[in-house]
């Protein structure tokens, strides 16, 4: 089982470099980067063994690896992980792409998994946001970033 740090690192890499989509038949999360990042891909392969690493590919002057999460691993592990960690405050664009993927492939991902996603606000919804908790929990990525900065000790 991945630690909070490992989960945060994967989510951060997926936010910056990943793609949330599909091939028209099934959903997939794809991470494609230059071969110079092979060590990172090998770490992902070891730490999140349900995904699959492809490559290295060499064409069009580009050299890259590609990691993909599909099928039951995507449905049972990656979608719930992303649903718990993504938020508009973290990266609204990635959250929107993730939501689009889960809506488009709802039948493949299952209602239970997509039910984890925050519900979109109705247009014209003028209700106020609930007041923040007195001691809000910190998101796993915030904890991971603090650990990277050395502030977690």
- For 12-62, what is each residue's pLDDT tens digit? 999 999 999 999 999 999 999 999 999 999 999 999 999 999 999 999 999
For residue 113, is pLDDT > 80?
A: no
**Has residue 130 been placed in a domain?**
no
Q: Are strands 52-59 and 27-34 parallel, antiparallel or unpaired?
A: unpaired
Look at residue 92 and tell me if it is in a domain: yes
What is the count of structural domains for the chain?
1
Confidence (pLDDT) at 129: 46
Q: Domain range spanning residue 106?
A: 4-115
**Mean pLDDT over each residue of the chain, to the nearest integer:** 82
User: CATH number of the domain that 60 lies in?
Assistant: 3.10.28.10
Residue 121 has pLDDT above 80, yes or no: no
Q: Which pTM does this prediction carry?
A: 0.72
Residue 99 included in any domain: yes
Reported for 32-41, long-range contacts at CB under 8 A and 24+ positions apart, including other chains, are 32/64, 32/65, 32/66, 32/67, 33/64, 33/65, 34/62, 34/63, 34/64, 35/63, 35/64, 35/65, 37/65, 38/65, 40/13, 41/65, 41/67
> Is residue 39 domain-resident?
yes
41 within domain boundaries: yes
User: Number of helices (H) and strands (E), helices first, in the chain?
Assistant: 8, 4
Residue 127: predicted pLDDT = 46
Residue 124 within any structural domain of the chain: no
Q: Looking at the domain assignment, is residue 146 inside a domain?
A: no
């Amino acid at each position: 089982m991945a630690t909070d740090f490992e989960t945060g690192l994967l989510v951060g890499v997926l936010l910056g470099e990943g793609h949330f989509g599909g091939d028209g038949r099934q959903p997939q999360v794809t991470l494609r980067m230059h071969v110079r990042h092979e060590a990172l891909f090998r770490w992902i392969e070891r730490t999140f063994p349900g995904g699959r690493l492809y490559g290295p590919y060499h064409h069009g002057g580009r050299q890259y690896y590609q990691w993909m999460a599909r099928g039951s691993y995507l449905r049972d592990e990656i979608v719930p992980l992303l649903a718990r960690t993504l938020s508009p405050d973290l990266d609204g664009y990635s959250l929107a792409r993730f939501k689009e993927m889960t809506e488009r492939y709802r039948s493949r991902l299952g209602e239970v998994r997509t039910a984890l996603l925050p519900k979109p606000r109705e247009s014209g919804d003028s209700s106020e946001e609930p007041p923040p908790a007195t001691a809000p929990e910190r998101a796993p990525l915030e904890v991971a970033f603090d650990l990277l900065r050395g502030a977690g000790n």
